[in-house]
Amino acid sequence: MATRPIFKAARGLNNAIEAHRLTYDSETGACDLAEAVNVIIDDSGSVSRRKGVQNHFEDPAHSLWSHGDYCFFVSNGRLMRYIKNGSIVTVHPSVGDIPMFFEWFQSHVWANNGLFRAILKDLTISSWDFLFQAEAGDTRTMGLPDSFTRIAAHAGRMFAVSGNLLYESEPGNARAFSLSDLPLVFESDIIDMISVGQTGKSQRGLFVSTREAVHFLSGTSRANFIKQEVLSEPVAPGTMTRCPLSEISSNGADGTGAMWVCHSGVFQGLPDGSVKNTTTGRLVLSKPVSGAAAILPGQYFFSLEVE
């Protein structure tokens, strides 16, 4: 008696090959999907409809960022904060309608877009300006870089990007940079970066993406960084996101890893500098110009603007 295949599970989206070449496993009843729109595929291969969303804000918005009780974004040149009770307040009325970068450092939120800089704590906002008490015999020229954009806290310092240059602050003081010391120089402009580290271990570093490649700076500062290229293509700016190391490390270690999107797929980065394409042979993305990403328990969400 003739039998027909029965679909039992989805192995996930696969756009790396033509739809008619996707395979079906008659033993497990699982197959790849040529398209997957507004659905969730869990680890068992079960497919369910994605839940709807509720609109909380009508105007255009960008630079959405959150940490704990804090959630900020920019809309029409205003810096906005989303409060847990559902209300939205204006933090500052005029910051420029350009990408804003945020970082959590020393129990404060630091915000910067190259034109506007601020330090945010609870409902107060203060200027991110230069502050440093020099010790006797310290002849260095201290200050803030003339112009910088992306920022990242790593190993007790703030790192700031200006073009293809990476500056580092004094230990524990994001308001003072040694301008006498040469910054780290990369082959092209830096478009994204993120700090990773394993709890209780010396393994830590910065993933830094330029317009050409992804590099890993192993160590804690310019004094001991070891630089290596770990990926020969750039990330989609805005998709580099911290994630719990326990969710992407095979040994279940505690700490922070990273995830990001490139043309060739979705990548994971570990504190030892190793990089893994989690979608090899399954996912090819149009050349991304920029993007956005978020981490939820067991899930990595991203959206892309492509050429």
Q: What is the pLDDT along the chain (307 residues), one digit of tens a residue?
A: 556 667 778 888 888 888 878 887 877 888 888 888 888 888 788 888 878 777 888 899 999 999 999 999 999 999 999 998 889 999 999 999 999 999 999 999 999 999 999 999 998 999 999 999 988 999 999 999 989 999 999 999 999 999 999 999 999 999 999 999 999 999 999 999 999 999 988 889 999 999 999 999 999 999 999 999 999 999 999 999 999 999 888 777 899 999 999 999 999 999 999 999 999 888 888 888 889 999 888 788 888 888 7
Instruction: For residues 140 and 144, give the distance between their C-alpha atoms in angstroms, rounded to a whole number.
Output: 13
45 and 68 part of one domain: no
Q: Which domain covers residue 82, as residue numbers?
A: 60-129
Please report whether residue 80 resides in a domain.
yes
**pTM of the predicted model as reported, rounded to 2 decimal places:** 0.88
Task: Sheet containing 108-112: give its strands across.
Answer: 101-105, 108-112, 117-121, 124-127
67 and 113 part of one domain: yes
29 and 72 part of one domain: no
Query: For residue 111, what pLDDT is reported?
Result: 98
64 and 44 part of one domain: no
Please report whether residue 97 resides in a domain.
yes
- Out of 78, 106, 129, a domain closes at 129
CA-nearest of 81, 101, 216, 94 to 150 is 101
- Out of 129, 152, 168, a domain closes at 129
Please report whether residue 29 resides in a domain.
yes
Instruction: For residues 30 and 18, give the distance between their C-alpha atoms in angstroms, rounded to a whole number.
Output: 18
CA distances from residue 224 to 172, 209, 221, 299 in whole angstroms, order as listed: 17, 19, 6, 34
Q: How many folded domains does the chain comprise?
A: 2
Helix (H, G, I), strand (E, B) or coil at 144: coil
Please report whether residue 269 resides in a domain.
no
Helix (H, G, I), strand (E, B) or coil at 157: strand
Q: Show Cβ contacts of residue 249 under 8 Å, excluding neighbours closer than 6 positions.
A: 257, 270
